[in-house]
Structure 1
Amino acid sequence: MYMRPSFGMITPGIKNLILANVTVFLLQIFFGWLINPWVFGIVPSRMLGEFFIWQPVTYMFLHSPTGFGHIFFNMFALWMFGTELERTMGTKEFLRYYFLTGILAGVSIFVWNLFMGIDVPTIGASGAVFGILMAYAMFFPDRYIYLWFLFPIKAKYFALLFGVLEFLMLPSGDGISHIGHLGGMIAGFFYLRHNYRHWGIGQDFFRNFFKKKDLF
């Protein structure tokens, strides 16, 4: 039987995160001078030269104000994958995990951009959202997800597919922070692997990831 991620009623952590992101997005649209991406996004020169150490936190709440696609897809994925996770982990631990993966994704963005000489603002919740995707795949590895709403694929392979794609797209220069996506996934993987006994995540996720009979 094929199953989609459990949507259900919105959970309190997800609700508060979406409200916070939407509020900041509206402030960006109507009072853009208050939410300067050079101050609140990740900019290596500002972090190093002016000690804007809050940027790996605040960048998660900013999205491109030129359209609705950026924030919509991030919030949709957060709701789709995060609802059941929050019920499983509890709101406090879920929020801790969300911010941990988002901040570590921000650190990876800072290091990568510094090394690559990229000194423009990076914004968006995508790093944390990709951390949520990794957690969903680890808690519910055999749950089916519909790729592009058409093709069923198990969550563990869905996460692997996106991880490989993000890695391959690192040098693309397409204006998307693939290192942030990858950083969020890697941070989530190692955090949950360290705590998998506590969360009851089966060892089969690590020992028997590939089973010939159930790739799809």
Structure 2
Amino acid sequence: MFALPPATQALILTNVIVFLMQSLGAGDGLASFALWPIGSGAFEPWQVVSYAFLHGGLSHLVFNMFGLYMFGGELERVWGPRRFLIFYFVSVLGAAAAQLGVAAWSGGMYPTVGASGGLFGLLVGFAMLFPHRKIVPLIPPIPMPAWVFVTLYGLIELGLGVTGSMSGVAHFAHLGGLAGGWLTIRYWRGQPPFGRRR
């Protein structure tokens, strides 16, 4: 853990501390930091960032922190902490925008929590920087290039979101985080739909 670069380490520790606060009875006090739909009457501007530090359970936290550990450290070593944090939080904002849009369209009035949107941004960032690096997913445990893994994962999320499978999972927020990360790297590289290299 302490061999991780500083920003990745700080994100993991902050998420764990907030989860412990939730578990120790501060959950009701933290409810205003979840991402509520704009029409719910409970939406506040800070929620587009704060929701990413709350989690719905231990497995939710562990999965997301494992992803931060696996992919965040690699990206931070390439970019440095400042660019890494910009990338991560743009992905978080992209996930929030997608979730708010879907909630406004569907009329859903439930809150969203979790760092998954940021994690999906890290996944696409990793695939764009290291497209041929092998990843072995848990299911199925078959080695595949990073770009193949992220493409398949994104298609699965899209299918689950469109069909409404696995209700309670913010599939379109995941896709929003993925899109935010993809667009950020395209912007930095000066690739369409953006102009010159940044």
Residue pairs, 1:1-216, within 5 angstroms? 9-30=3-24, 31-36=26-31, 39-45=32-38, 49=41, 52-64=44-56, 67-148=57-138, 150-171=141-162, 172-173=164-165, 174-196=167-189
CA gap 1:8/1:50 in 2 versus in 1, 3 angstroms = closer
Distance in 1 (alpha carbons) for counterparts of 2:11 and 2:120: 15
Cα shift at 1:187: 1.1
Matched residue count: 187
Residues 127 and 183 of structure 1 are in contact (CA less than 8 Å); yes or no, is this contact kept in structure 2?
yes
Cα distance in 2 for residues equivalent to 1:155 and 1:196: 19
Alignment partners' CA distance in 1, 2:101 and 2:128: 27
CA distance in 1, matches of 2:48, 2:110: 14
Q: Which has the larger radius of gyration?
A: 1
SS of alignment partner, residue 195 of structure 1:
helix
SS of residue matched to 1:147: coil
Write the distance in 2 (CA, Å) between the matches of 1:164 and 1:189: 15
Matched residue SS, 2:136: strand
- 2:180 maps to a residue whose letter is A
Give the 3-state SS of the residue equivalent to 2:14 in structure 1: helix
Tell me the amino acid that sits aligned with residue 170 of structure 2. S
| C-alpha distance after superposition, 1:36-87 (max 9, x if no partner) | 1xx11111146x74651111111000001xx410000000011101111000
Answer yes or no: is the 8 Å Cα contact 1:128–1:184 preserved in 2.
yes
Distance in 2, matches of 1:136 and 1:61, equals: 22
CA distance in 2, matches of 1:26, 1:157: 35
After TM superposition, give the deviation of residue 8 of structure 1 in Å: 9.4
Pairwise CA distance, 1:11: 1.2
Percent identity, aligned pairs only, is 39
The SS at the match of 2:98 is: helix
Checking the alignment, whether the CA contact within 8 Å between 1:145 and 1:152 is kept in structure 2 is yes
TM value normalised by structure 1: 0.81
Q: Which amino acid aligns with 1:143?
A: R
Q: By how many angstroms is 1:194 displaced? A: 1.9
Residue in 1 that maps onto 2:194? none
Distance 1:51 1:59, change over 3 A: closer
Q: How far has the Cα of 1:34 moved from its partner?
A: 2.1
**Superposition RMSD in Å:** 2.0
Structure 2 CA distance for partners of 1:8 and 1:27, relative to 1, 3 Å? closer
Q: Which runs of 4+ in 1 moved over 3 A?
A: 48-51
Counterpart AA for 1:78? L
